[in-house]
Amino acid sequence: MLETIVALATPPIRSALAIVRFSGEDCFKIVSKFFSKQIDVTKSTIMHGFVMDGNTKIDEVVLLAYKGPRSFTGEDSVEIICHGSPVIFNQIIELALKNGARLATGGEYTSRAFMNNKLDLIQAESINDLINAETKEAKNIALMSLDGSTSKLISPIKEDIGYLLSLIEVNIDYPEYEDLEEANIEKIKDIMKKNIKYIESLISDGNKGRIIRDGINIAIVGKPNVGKSSILNALLNEDKAIVSSYKGTTRDVVEGKFILNGVLINLFDTAGIRESDDYVEGIGITKSIDKLNKADIVIAVFDSMDLDEEDKKILDLIKNKDTIIVYNKSDINEYNNHDCIVTSAINKDVESLKQAILKKLNLSNENYVNPSISSTRELGILKNIKEMMTKVFNDASNGISIDLLSADIKDIYLSILSLTGEDHDFDIAKEIFSRFCVGK
Ligand SMILES: Nc1nc2c(ncn2[C@@H]2O[C@H](COP(=O)(O)OP(=O)(O)OP(=O)(O)O)[C@@H](O)[C@H]2O)c(=O)[nH]1
Ligand SMILES: [Mg+2]
């Protein structure tokens, strides 16, 4: 039997109301010991009453009792809605601990919901995404995942591989029919081919879903004085970074966030990159290079099409990065090439740069409204499954027998189950839930 856990589900600060949450088989019994009224242990109820420490009133509260399995965790659960004073909710938690509950660890409620089959692992992960979402669009993606739509994307793969495993059984049962093996090898190849294609589309959609969910990191780089900080300020629409005509104004990385078509853009303005004897500027330049290496997209800024040695060094640094080249100061410079991105940061004219960023993100309307498999864990497993399928396809093409292919196909099946947690690998689940906040 699992112990009854208790935690504050709302922030540990003064507020109008707070919620103290309990879950576990004994929770009705434990809460009854300090609640002023009898709790009916046979059904879910809402009650008004008092939390009592012996004869002393602690608070006037509303109590929600959820009879398992019809609760979030699947177990008997209670939520006490009290007044939002730290003195009050701490006293209620102390009473719970005194009467046999223990403090919940991070994500323990969701972990119990997972163990009681109320949620699969993909749904459970989406709860964290929901809580951490920074844009409306990110929240919508998490919500789609929570209702099980994302998990359903896995179903066709699971069905196909399950079917293959049954074909393997047939071959084991009737080894004398060589024609059967031949036909089944062809089926294995067909199914691998079809699913590899499907997984590729899931990965591509998932990467886009991830951008909507997590946002994207963009570094602005260039030699000193080309207008990097001015571009940051124009994109953020605020005077965040110091701008001056002095070369080497920006020393440390300046960070800002803005939202472009529902995507959170984490923008990093960096120190101008050049050969410098100045010790502090040198540290800034090292940081610039580090930022550009870590960024998803780099905006490289120039203020002339006639590139000098410093500009060329920048181009060399970014040669392996996904880059947007920007020519700034278009108000004083003539840029004749109409294909390039031109800005006048001083006039806050950076619309063409915003359009270029959107083009790079390459998101369609579908990416915002359709579920996608977008967590790093899930995408990692999908990539792995794709590789395993490619191996089975190649082995099958090279005349390897079904017997030998079967071990790999079984591994593929297990990996599919691990996506939703159906393989019951509780170590992985534990790792995921440890990232949750306490009370969730
Ligand atoms: N005319 C014009 N001047 C600009 C434009 N953008 C920036 N400047 C000017 O260029 C100078 C340098 O701008 P910053 O934004 O500080 O340049 P930076 O690239 O961040 O420079 P460092 O931090 O030193 O590397 C300032 O005097 C700006 O006002 C522009 O679009 N047009
Ligand atoms: Mg600057």
Which CATH number fits the domain that encloses residue 185? 1.20.120.430
C-beta of 244 in contact with ligand 1 (< 6 A): yes
For residue 21, the cross-strand partners are 7, 79
Residue 361 lies in a domain: yes
The count of domains in the chain is 3
How far apart are alpha carbons 6 and 78 in whole angstroms?
9
Residues with CB under 5 A from ligand 2 (ion): 228-229, 249-250
pLDDT (tens digit per residue) in 270-291: 999 999 888 998 899 999 999 9
For residue 20, the cross-strand partners are 8, 80
How far apart are alpha carbons 143 and 299 in whole angstroms?
33
Report the DSSP pairing between strands 77-83 and 56-66. Answer: antiparallel
Q: Give the number of the atom of ligand 1 that is nearest the alpha carbon of residue 225.
A: 21
Mutate-to-test residue for ligand 1 from 221, 228, 230, highest number of ligand atoms within 8 A of CB: 230
Residue 254 lies in a domain: yes
Select from 320, 343, 365 the last residue of a domain. Answer: 365
Mutate-to-test residue for ligand 1 from 238, 253, 343, 346, highest number of ligand atoms within 8 A of CB: 346
DSSP per residue, 206-249: HHHHHHHHH-EEEEEEESTTSSHHHHHHHHHTS--S---SSTT-
C-beta of 374 in contact with ligand 1 (< 6 A): no
Residue 127 lies in a domain: no
Residue 124 lies in a domain: no
Strand ranges of the sheet holding 297-302, from the earlier edge strand across to the other edge: 254-260, 263-269, 216-222, 297-302, 323-327, 341-342
C-beta of 249 in contact with ligand 1 (< 6 A): yes
> Is the same domain home to 243 and 193?
no
Residue 26 lies in a domain: yes
Omega of the bond leading into 69 within 30 degrees of 0 (cis): yes
C-beta of 223 in contact with ligand 1 (< 6 A): no
> Is the same domain home to 337 and 228?
yes
> Is the same domain home to 60 and 97?
yes
How far apart are alpha carbons 96 and 36 in whole angstroms?
14
Which CATH number fits the domain that encloses residue 270? 3.40.50.300
Select from 302, 332, 365 the last residue of a domain. Answer: 365
> Is the same domain home to 275 and 305?
yes
C-beta of 228 in contact with ligand 1 (< 6 A): yes
CA of 225 to the centre of ligand 1 (A): 5
> Is the same domain home to 385 and 349?
no
> Is the same domain home to 167 and 281?
no
CA of 304 to the centre of ligand 2 (A): 17
Place of tokens 């939703």: 420
> Is the same domain home to 258 and 279?
yes
Residue 106 — φ and ψ, nearest 5°? -55, 130
For residue 256, the cross-strand partners are 267
pTM: 0.80
**HSE-CB of 82 using CA atoms within 13 angstroms:** 29
Q: Which amino acid is at 264?
A: L
Select from 347, 365, 383 the last residue of a domain. Answer: 365
C-beta of 284 in contact with ligand 1 (< 6 A): no
Residue 295 lies in a domain: yes
> Is the same domain home to 360 and 220?
yes
> Is the same domain home to 283 and 158?
no
Q: Which of 197, 196, 199, 172 is nearest to 184 (CA)?
A: 172
Which CATH number fits the domain that encloses residue 15? 3.30.1360.120
Q: Which domain holds residue 256?
A: 215-365
Residue 164 lies in a domain: yes
Mutate-to-test residue for ligand 1 from 243, 246, 326, highest number of ligand atoms within 8 A of CB: 243
Q: Give the number of the atom of ligand 1 that is nearest the alpha carbon of residue 243.
A: 16
pLDDT at position 41, please? 86
> Is the same domain home to 252 and 302?
yes
> Is the same domain home to 73 and 36?
yes
CA of 250 to the centre of ligand 2 (A): 4
> Is the same domain home to 231 and 360?
yes
Torsion of the alpha carbons at 232, 233, 234 and 235, rounded to the nearest 10: 50
Residue 347 lies in a domain: yes
- What pLDDT tens digit does each residue of the chain (440 aa) get? 689 999 999 999 999 999 999 999 999 999 999 999 999 989 999 999 999 999 999 999 999 999 999 999 999 999 999 999 999 999 999 999 999 999 998 889 998 998 898 999 899 889 888 888 989 999 998 888 888 899 999 999 999 998 888 888 877 777 777 677 777 889 999 999 999 999 999 999 999 999 999 999 999 999 999 999 999 999 999 999 999 999 999 999 999 999 999 999 999 999 999 998 889 988 999 999 999 999 999 999 999 999 999 999 999 999 999 999 999 999 999 888 778 999 999 999 999 999 999 999 999 999 999 999 988 889 999 999 999 999 999 999 999 988 899 999 999 999 999 998 887 666 666 766 776 777 77
How far apart are alpha carbons 127 and 265 in whole angstroms?
22
